[in-house]
Amino acid sequence: MFRIGQSVDIHQLVEGRRLILGGVEIPHEKGLLGHSDADVLLHAIAESILGALALGDLGKHFPDTDDAYKGMDSLWMLKQVYRLMDEKGYRIGNLDALIMIERPKMAPHIQKMRENVAMALHCDMDAVSIKATRGEKMGFVGKEEGAQAQCVVLLMKK
């Protein structure tokens, strides 16, 4: 049996925050604003898995009203989502994710992001696709006001 999930996550880019994407801290003058570390990529991946399992959204499991999750490492959250997926008897078939951010360039960091995601989800790296694109100076991404990530995932029964 197969299940498909998809999700989008968006966070503001602001000064005074670290930029963490795919569990990788990337040097930049701005970072993503959020209750946790605001890793839009891992949030989109985790929520796509929750959606495929019909378990609600990320906020249901890690509410931003709970101080226990303030500054939380999103890789830890993704590992908790893996645990839920595993308990339901599913594994990753594959996932395809896209980061939308004007700068900095993501290419030097994508391999490490893929490694982090594959490790957290106990799957082969060839099941994890991560790509990036720019806003070409248009919209909130292009004007460097925020970043967005989206993911589609295929889960397979073990």
Residues comprising the binding site for a divalent metal cation? 9, 11, 43
* Polymer length in residues for the chain: 158
Mapped onto helix, strand or coil, the DSSP state of residue 50 is helix
How far apart CA 45 and CA 59 sit, in angstroms, is 14
Contact 43, 76 (CB under 8 A): no
Q: What is the CA radius of gyration of the chain?
A: 15
* Region for residue 148 given its phi and psi (left: phi exceeds 0; alpha: psi -120 to 50; beta: otherwise): beta
How far apart CA 157 and CA 13 sit, in angstroms, is 38
Residue ranges at the known binding site:
9-11, 35-36, 43, 57-59, 62-66, 101-107, 140, 143
